[in-house]
């Protein structure tokens, strides 16, 4: 395959590029910063990789067999009105751009697959509900962002297979939620955030990359697929398991008001969660390597 990837320089994208390269696929990195991408993917380690800034994205998409769309500003920051606008725009803009480029490519040179990220935030938050791919969308800001993000990807031409991966909290070594949590635990200052009762629908980054890879290559992967492990946990349990794997206590709870003071409205991302099940992935026969959070954490922290 020849795969164009937006957000390739990020936490998930870097792992996906490694995976695609290991299987000898051609990769085209669609980035905002060629110099940053060249540092992440130096030519000596990634021979043949094509790196392109936006005016050149068209040439890359034209002739690719597939596109993976992962671009987006991280949401775990303090949400000012400007940041909220950028959280949405940074997802809609690149999605809209790649869809336009796919649709404008000549029919023979058009990618036949678009795998586009979205998030479990689509469902809103709940301490009691259980969500699968057929559950309705929530009513909060992040659900609105996800609806628009997904709707934009679905504007791809009808002859393009679109898979929307509703991603949960991704666990891996070099980024994501653990990069923020682990330092506190290592300083003996880790503990649950807020009540600890909020659901934490996680996925190991290797499983997510395998799911994206399957979606690229298997024609049965179409429409919405939750990218979460089969056994979500409450955040309190996740912190206990993390403490146990790191041989550190999980004793210092961070109260709601402190997080709200730090992150403003953005605190909802950590104070509220949702229990999401990967029903479609299971129906499709996807094999999760990491089904339990303790195994995932052990593998990551080894
Ligand atoms: P990262 O933040 O690590 O990387 C995302 C990439 O998006 C960056 O490398 C950057 O690429 C691009 N980007 C960043 N800011 C902007 C911006 N303002 N405008 C346009 N592009 C921007 O994200 P992850 O790899 O963690 O996540 C990938 C996708 O998956 C994101 O869309 C995210 O929302 C989604 N997701 C991730 C989860 C997680 O736990 N990690 C959970 C749920 C969803 P470049 O600089 O090369 O253009």
Token output for 223 = 């429409």
Residue with the nearest Cα to atom 9 of ligand 1? 10
Q: Do the Cβ atoms of 172 and 181 come closer than 8 Å?
A: no
Indicate whether this complex's ipTM tops 0.95: yes
Distances in Å between the Cα of 204 and the Cα atoms of 172, 185, 234, 256, 265 are 6, 19, 16, 27, 27
Tell me if 37 CB under 6 Å of ligand 1.
yes
Q: How far is the CA of 29 from the centre of ligand 1 (A)?
A: 13
pLDDT-based confidence at residue 289 (cuts at 50, 70, 90): very high
- Domain ranges, residue 108: 2-301
For the chain, the domain total comes to 1
When computed from its CA atoms, the radius of gyration of the chain, rounded to whole angstroms, is: 19
Q: Do the Cβ atoms of 200 and 233 come closer than 8 Å?
A: yes
pLDDT in tens, 240-264: 999 999 999 887 777 777 777 777 7
pLDDT in tens, 142-183: 999 999 999 999 999 999 999 999 999 999 998 888 988 888
Q: Which domain CATH number covers 162?
A: 3.40.50.720
| Residue of 6, 9, 10 best suited for mutating to test ligand 1, as the one with most atoms within 8 Å of CB | 10
């Amino acid at each position: 395959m020849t795969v164009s990837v937006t957000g390739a320089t990020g936490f998930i994208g870097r792992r996906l590029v490694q995976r695609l390269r290991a299987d000898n696929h051609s990769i085209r990195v669609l980035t905002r910063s060629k110099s940053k991408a060249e540092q992440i993917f130096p030519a000596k380690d990634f021979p043949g990789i094509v790196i392109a800034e936006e005016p050149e994205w068209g040439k890359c998409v034209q002739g690719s067999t597939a596109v993976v769309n992962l671009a987006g500003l991280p949401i775990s920051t303090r949400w000012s009105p400007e940041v909220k606008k950028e959280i949405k725009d940074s997802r809609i803009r690149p999605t809209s751009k790649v869809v336009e480029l796919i649709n404008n490519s000549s029919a023979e040179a058009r990618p036949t697959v678009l795998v586009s990220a979205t998030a479990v935030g689509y469902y809103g938050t709940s301490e009691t509900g259980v969500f699968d791919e057929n559950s309705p969308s929530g009513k909060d800001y992040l659900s609105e962002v996800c609806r628009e993000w997904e709707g934009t990807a679905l504007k791809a031409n009808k002859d393009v297979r679109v898979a929307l991966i509703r991603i949960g909290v991704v666990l891996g070594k070099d980024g994501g939620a653990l990069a923020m949590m682990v330092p506190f635990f290592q300083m003996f200052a880790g503990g649950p955030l807020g009540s600890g009762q909020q659901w934490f629908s996680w996925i190991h980054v290797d499983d997510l990359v395998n799911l994206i890879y399957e979606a690229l290559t298997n024609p049965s992967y179409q429409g919405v697929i939750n990218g979460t492990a089969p056994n979500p946990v409450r955040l309190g349990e996740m912190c206990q398991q993390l403490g146990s794997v790191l041989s550190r206590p999980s004793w210092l709870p961070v109260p709601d008001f402190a997080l709200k003071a730090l992150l403003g409205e953005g605190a909802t991302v950590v104070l509220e969660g949702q229990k999401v099940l990967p029903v479609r992935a299971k129906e499709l026969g996807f094999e999760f390597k990491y089904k339990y959070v303790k195994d995932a954490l052990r593998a990551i922290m080894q």
